[in-house]
Amino acid sequence: MLIDTTLLVNNSWIIKGLLDGSMKRYGSVIRWAAGTENAGQIIRHLVEAPGVTDKVISGAKVIGEGVNYYKLLGIEQSLSSVMGLSQIAAGASVLNLGVSILGFAYMGYKLHQIQKQLGHLQQSMEEGFDRIEASLYRIEGGIQEGFRQVGASLNRVEQRLDIISGQLGYLFLLVEDNRKQQQSLAKAISHLHQAMLIKEIAALNAELDDRKRFPNESSRESLKVASRVRLFLANQALQATPELDAELMLNTDISIQGCAVATATEAQLLLEIGQHQEARELLAVEVPKFQQVAQRWGNELISDENPYLSTTYRFNHPRFQEYITPQRVERIIEISPSDRILSPEDIRSKKIHIDVEFEMSHSSQWDEAWLHRQIAIAEYLDTLSELSARLDGLQSFAALCESRNVSSSRDLLPGSNAATGLYVLPPND
């Protein structure tokens, strides 16, 4: 490691900035917040010690894998909140929060989790269910089979989101109380297992497993597989026409998550062997393409037949406060161009119109099914936004590697003897 790094939890200056709002986490970097003198500039890169991945894969058990992962990084509840991690979309977990030497092993593990999730999801859809229940059992972030009836009330947001925030959990909310849609989705998952989509995911997963077992072997074959999978899945994601449809969203979600992993894998392999310019050129093409997909889905799913509700700011209304955190709303705004350009006065005006709409309209319009669809939309878009941000952070890390002229990205990352946790790395001079 050629650059001094410190554990985030030991950097009081960064923590103070996150607490007072002058700094913001965006993907895998800390930036100066909007409204500050150097707004948008990178302050620190986030990188992980190898021990984090080792412990995640070995199966350390805490309440939900997401909580476990962030605790291993040394991020407790108070810090998690100011970093915008208290309600992070589970789908975004296919990429590490920070760059890591063992990133390949972690991403391979997460791809395997997606495949397991599909199995749990298919069985639940085939057996059928009536409503979402607060006491659903979970297996490694997946939702266990065998649930039927529920209470109308779910407890607080963390418990609700533990239920629906599996990597594909939002699908339960979209087909709730519709047995025909559940059966249709079960068939779609069955077909998905046979499709090229899953075969490509499996090929990438196998290559990542091989990379984990033989880290000192040539990267050529791994690069070929990652490139092929990236091109195929990116094409699938770009071809999809955004629509609030469970089957379409499932297929696109698998494509998007797989594409993110393939892109990150290819870029990190290039950085590892010192081909920093090639990594930057790759990310300069793929990150905007990924952001374009995210914005297309954001525009479609945020849209509403009521023009006053066609904004991300509808999720700020009190009826969502137990389901959707302000940090999640902020992340979704990042992939909503129409919301990002609003002035403070425009935002206040929109919020007033939203309040009036909810107060004046018949309550039957905003029933439980509508509410659950909105929660599912927020979960889905949060995945897209956070993955976009983490890929953007990797692009910045590639620029750092090139500017430092290191022979390998490993020279900038905490070594195998580093204490487990999340580290902060100085940016370009």
What does DSSP say about strands 142-143 and 29-32: parallel, antiparallel, or unpaired? Answer: unpaired
Q: How far apart are CA 379 and CA 173, in angstroms?
A: 11
Q: How far apart are CA 53 and CA 55, in angstroms?
A: 5
Q: How far apart are CA 268 and CA 309, in angstroms?
A: 41
C-alpha distances out from residue 63 to 68, 141, 180, 296, 330, Å: 7, 9, 33, 34, 25
Q: How far apart are CA 259 and CA 319, in angstroms?
A: 35
Q: Are 427 and 44 in contact (CB under 8 A)?
A: yes
Count of C-beta atoms within a 10 Å radius of residue 403: 12
SS3 of residue 240 by DSSP: coil
Give me the helix-helix angle, 65-72 and 50-58, nearest 10°. 150
pLDDT category of residue 263 using cuts at 50, 70 and 90: very high
Give all strands of the β-sheet with 29-32 in edge-to-edge order: 6-7, 422-425, 42-48, 29-32, 23-26
Instruction: Please check the confidence at residue 310 and state whether its pLDDT lies above 80.
Output: yes
> By 3-state DSSP, what share of the chain in percent is helix, strand and coil, each rounded to 5?
65, 5, 30
Ramachandran category for residue 146: left, alpha or beta (phi over 0 → left; psi -120 to 50 → alpha): left
Q: List 29's β-bridge partners, or say none.
A: 26, 45
User: What is the distance, to the nearest Å, from the Cα of residue 164 to the centroid of all Cα atoms in its chain?
Assistant: 14
When mean pLDDT is compared over 122-136, 153-167, 194-208, 239-253, the highest value belongs to 239-253
pLDDT category of residue 153 using cuts at 50, 70 and 90: very low
pLDDT category of residue 130 using cuts at 50, 70 and 90: low
Q: Pick the range with the lowest mean pLDDT from 6-10, 68-72, 355-359, 420-424.
A: 68-72
Q: How far apart are CA 249 and CA 381, in angstroms?
A: 11
Structure tokens at 407: 């022979």
Give me the helices (H) in 343-405, please: 344-360, 368-404
Q: What is the pLDDT of residue 393?
A: 95
Q: Are 235 and 268 in contact (CB under 8 A)?
A: no
Q: Radius of gyration over alpha carbons of the chain, in Å?
A: 21
Q: How far apart are CA 264 and CA 286, in angstroms?
A: 10
Q: How far apart are CA 174 and CA 370, in angstroms?
A: 9
C-alpha distances out from residue 373 to 146, 174, 301, 310, 315, Å: 23, 6, 10, 14, 12
Structure tokens at 154: 């779910």
Q: How far apart are CA 208 and CA 109, in angstroms?
A: 9
Q: What is the pLDDT of residue 267?
A: 95
When mean pLDDT is compared over 100-114, 143-157, 183-197, 398-412, the highest value belongs to 398-412
Q: What is the pLDDT of residue 155?
A: 40
Q: Are 229 and 214 in contact (CB under 8 A)?
A: no
Q: What is the pLDDT of residue 362?
A: 65
What does DSSP say about strands 6-7 and 29-32: parallel, antiparallel, or unpaired? Answer: unpaired
When mean pLDDT is compared over 58-72, 107-121, 251-265, the highest value belongs to 251-265
